[in-house]
Amino acid sequence: MTAQAQDTPHPARTQSLPSRHDFATTVARLKDALASRGLTLFADIDQSAAAEQAGTSLRPTRLFLFGNPKGGTPAMQANPHAAIELPLRAAVWEDDGGATHIDYQDAAGVLSSEYGLQPALVAPLATVRALLEGVADNA
| Mutual angle of helices 23-36 and 128-136, in 10-degree steps | 140
pLDDT at 98: 95
Task: Tell me the per-residue pLDDT of 2-42, one tens digit each, with 9 for 90 and over.
Answer: 466 557 788 888 999 999 999 999 999 999 999 999 999 99
pTM of the entire structure? 0.92
Q: What is the CATH code of the structural domain delimited by 15-136? A: 3.30.310.70
Report domain extents, the chain.
15-136
Encode pLDDT of 87-124 as tens digits.
999 999 999 999 999 999 999 999 999 999 999 999 99
Could you give the residue ranges of the DSSP H alpha helices within 1-127? Answer: 23-36, 47-53, 69-78, 107-115, 119-122
Residue 1 pLDDT exceeds 50:
no
Distance CA 50, CA 104 (A): 21
